């Protein structure tokens, strides 16, 4: 069994925030793959379904970002899920908007949600970092992540969320490289080659 976690803050006030891109991604997975309706448990909301022939539980912690690990740890203990079977989707300041990076394990790199995850689940889970871009000044980081995506972000954001949902089964199968490549190509499609002129 895999546990897929989206990180974010609960409530309508935060719904469109850059910090909530993890929630947005798992919402899209649930919608596109016909998972069960959300229900409240493990200090969060859960939905379940099947991906790549395997049972998958999706979790949105409702503990606020800085305490995300409490909710995740509870679900992991209940189902006896190994940390390597946990996939976490979250916002990444140090990646350009629309960029995606996947890796197993590592540190928190200043992300409070990941710091809480490490405290409650250890570091050996799969991280899916979804780029939201950096405002350029560390003093502007908090207002940047806690403000909504701009209208100009709509095209790449929708393409990213759809690509993540369409290819999430690859992560369940452990094919991180293929997932990353397919998402990149969906968000940055190669330019079409001009049609060759017919020879006269």
What tens digit of pLDDT does each residue of 50-75 get? 999 999 999 999 999 899 999 999 99
Which pLDDT score, from 0 to 100, does residue 189 have? 84
Please give the tally of structural domains in the chain. 1
Does pLDDT of 86 surpass 60? yes
What tokens appear for 32 in the block?
Answer: 């596109």
> Is residue 172, in this structure, part of any structural domain at all?
yes
Cα–Cα distance, 115 to 7 (Å, whole number): 12
| Residue recorded with tokens 């998972």 | 35
Q: Report pLDDT for 84.
A: 93
- Domain of 59, CATH number, reads 3.40.50.1470
Instruction: Please report whether residue 131 resides in a domain.
Output: yes
Residues tagged active-site? 19
Residue 200 pLDDT > 60, yes or no?
no
Specify if 80 maps to a domain.
yes
- Count other Cβ atoms within 10 Å, centred on residue 136: 8
């Amino acid at each position: 069994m895999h546990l897929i976690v989206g990180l974010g803050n609960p409530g309508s006030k935060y719904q469109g925030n850059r910090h909530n891109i993890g929630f947005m991604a798992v919402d899209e997975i649930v919608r596109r793959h016909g998972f069960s309706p959300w229900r409240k448990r493990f200090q969060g909301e859960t939905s379940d379904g099947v991906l790549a022939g395997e049972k998958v539980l999706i979790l949105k912690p409702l503990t606020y970002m800085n305490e995300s690990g409490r909710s995740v740890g509870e679900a992991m203990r209940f189902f006896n899920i190994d940390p390597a079977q946990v996939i976490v989707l979250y916002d990444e300041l140090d990646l350009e908007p629309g960029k995606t990076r996947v890796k197993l394990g590592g540190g928190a790199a200043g992300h409070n949600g990941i710091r809480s995850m490490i405290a409650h689940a250890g570091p050996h889970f799969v991280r899916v970092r979804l780029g939201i871009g950096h405002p350029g000044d560390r003093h502007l980081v908090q207002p940047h992540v806690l403000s909504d995506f701009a209208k100009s972000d709509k095209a790449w954001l929708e393409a990213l969320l759809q690509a993540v949902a369409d290819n999430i089964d690859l992560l369940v199968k452990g094919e991180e490289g293929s997932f990353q490549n397919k998402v990149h190509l969906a968000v940055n499609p190669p330019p079409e080659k001009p049609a060759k002129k017919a020879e006269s």
